[in-house]
Amino acid sequence: MAASTDKTNKPLIPRGVDDRPVDKYNRAELYSGKALDFDGVNDQIIVNGVNNIFDYGNSYTMAGYFKIVDSGSGGLMGNSNGNSFANLLGFVYKSGEDSNFYPDGSSSNYITIYSGNTTDFVYMVCTSDGTTAKAYLNGQLVGSTSVSSYTNTSSRFNVGSSYSGNFGETEATGVKVYSTALTATQVAELYNNPEKVVPTGVSDSALKLWLPMMEGAGTTVYDGSENGNHGTINGATWTHGIGAPVAQTAVIDWNKGTNIFTYSEDFSNADWTTSNLTTTADDATAPDGQTTADKIVATTTNGTHYKYQDVSITNGLLYTFSTFIKSSGADYFRLEFGGYSNAFDNEYAVFNLNTGSVESNGGVTNPTITSYNNDWYRISITATSTASATGRIVLYASEQNTNSFAGDGVNGYYIWGASLEQSATAGPYVHTGATAQTSPVLLPQGLTSGRDITGVNPFENVRKQGALNLDGNSWAEVHDNASLDFGTGSFTIECWAKLAYENTGSSYNGVIGLGDSLSVGATAYIYTRSAGPRFFINGTSFTIAATLDEGNWHHLVVTRTSAGAIQTYYDGAEGEESGTEASTMTNAYDVLIGKDSGASRYYKDCIAQPRIYNRALTASEVLNNYNTTKNLYI
């Protein structure tokens, strides 16, 4: 048990970086976020396109959180060039017990950052100003060395390996590359403020790569730097519940998306069957600011001009097909769910790129055209599948009333970001390569404060409200303290919760409690069930509300007096049930927010202002707490 304290009603600080004295606060740690687990055999992330950062004489910084779990040898992160150690330029490499920073490819010139294995994540930062290289561990300088001349011909950056056959066994998250050497003050700022993307005094443009690794699924790690340097995952597997310090954005279940297409930005790839169209790859600036938009032009052939993919479709479901499109002389474009294998009934819509309107509707649901920057539109159609079969999803060059015509070989379209989703509307666009993204992935925050890489700011209100927005794999944990041992005395548990319930193997989702689980004694919990929020104490259940108003915020409070009287409250008023339960509440458990100790009782939504008191609030105090905070949530 932690040291005792006579301080009561102390605030929950849901951050791992909390240097306040234990005897002043009940400290909390946020087990948040996601990471990739590398097996040390053949797992790695490969990022192509980090150009010229590691050239001799250039300044750079690379940083990341790593949990090092093996004493073997292998790469952790850095620029990879060739198949020999001499070609490792700016690399962290684990050699036996030591994790070393090699700034210039010399096996004898290095800085030891960390020695041994770790049970927790450590924050490694390596910098070079072209003359001197420095290494930092958890915000503190651990060593420096001179940089020798070298030649770099690679724009490839690896995580989890250095070159073929040299894989590091580790877990990794939050990898960044800057085109400047951060100062000691800036390194410390990033460590002490894990949600900060770029430190004070550094331009946003200096951030060349940021892999928050918060997607949680799929084979792509998305670059949050807005440079489009997405990484390809080879073998590494996703893991959850990463201990702080990790940015809280990593737990948020916002802006998840899927994409059934492959090569969503590469229309010259063979996965796109093409007829009577010429394709010029990377011919224009795409809506995300990168030069990755292709140009397609209808040939002079008198016939249909199209690209399509055949994909597996499930009967009776809504599918939405979308793409980003911009006129390059042609005014009309058509999207179609083809009737191939009878998965659809040839539903389509034609879009007018001159007026930004739907020109005609051939049976689809809610065809939409949305204006983006620089004359780009996002167009979409929705239809219900009619069979479990292969569906042909078609992009047509079109004239006003037909998709069969003779093109002029000159006028055409810029196209980017095709997407097919099992959804009633077009969701956030998800880039794909050789593998479709069939399970939802979380898109990382972009450089613009509060926005993800699609420009959406869906968690602004959550931040404003100071809420934990939990994704079902994350939770907060308050260190056990004598002030939490109430014995048979009075206490109150209070919070705001955006009510949710998801059956993941249990009929309960834990909101906040005094530790362990509802099945043990000497503890108490607020839970949600499909029938509504409940309170459990020593295995006895009390109803807070008789229904689950899912998706809406509610104020949940439970009090117990020294006489054992239980009273529940719901939105400031007395709840459905009260009663008596006088068992002891003294235990050695950590307080849990967003779960209990069971493997399947995670909460998957927002929890705000969790509070525990060493007395029973009165009815007027509960009502006052509700009234003074409800404007944040209702």
From CA 232, how far away is CA 44, in angstroms rounded? 8
Q: Does 199 lie in the same domain as 291?
A: no
Q: Does 107 lie in the same domain as 53?
A: yes
Instruction: Give the lowest-confidence range in 286-300, 324-338, 445-459, 539-553.
Output: 445-459
Q: Does 212 lie in the same domain as 85?
A: yes
Q: Does 281 lie in the same domain as 185?
A: no
Residue 545 lies in a domain: yes
3-state helix, strand and coil shares in percent for the chain, rounded to the nearest 5: 10, 45, 45
Residue 267 lies in a domain: no
Q: Does 229 lie in the same domain as 206?
A: yes
Q: Does 382 lie in the same domain as 432?
A: yes
37 phi-psi bin (left φ>0, alpha ψ -120 to 50, beta other)? beta
> What pLDDT is stored for residue 471 in this prediction?
81
- pLDDT > 70? residue 457: no
Q: What's the CATH number where 595 sits?
A: 2.60.120.200
Number of domains in the chain: 4
> What pLDDT is stored for residue 80 in this prediction?
77
Locate the DSSP E strands across 486-523.
Answer: 491-498, 509-513
Mean pLDDT of 239-261: 73
Q: Which residue has the higher pLDDT, 554 or 120?
A: 554
Tokens at residue 593, please?
């927010």
Query: Does the model's pTM come out above 0.85?
Result: no
From CA 239, how far away is CA 225, in angstroms rounded? 23
| Residue that is last in its domain, among 254, 284, 301 | 254
Q: Does 201 lie in the same domain as 325?
A: no
Enumerate residues 6+ apart whose C-beta is below 8 A from 499.
528, 533, 548, 549, 550, 551, 552, 553, 554, 605
Q: Which residue has the higher pLDDT, 308 or 17?
A: 308
Q: Does 603 lie in the same domain as 547?
A: yes
pLDDT category of residue 16 using cuts at 50, 70 and 90: very low
- pLDDT > 60? residue 207: yes
State the DSSP string of 62-75.
EEEEEEE--SS-EE
Enumerate residues 6+ apart whose C-beta is below 8 A from 432.
220, 259, 261, 262, 263, 264
Asked if 557 and 493 touch (Cβ cutoff 8 Å), the reply is: yes
Most confident of 46-50, 77-81, 252-256, 564-568: 564-568
> What pLDDT is stored for residue 251 in this prediction?
62
Q: Does 210 lie in the same domain as 280?
A: no
Q: Is 465 helix (H, G, I), strand (E, B) or coil?
A: helix
Tell me which residue range forms the domain holding 345: 273-442
**β-pairing verdict for 347-352 and 332-338:** antiparallel
- pLDDT > 50? residue 336: yes
Mean pLDDT of 595-613: 91
Averaged pLDDT score across all residues of the chain: 88
Residue 455 lies in a domain: no
Residue 609 lies in a domain: yes
Distance of CA 232 to the CA centre of its chain: 16
- Look up tokens 């993204």; give the residue: 437
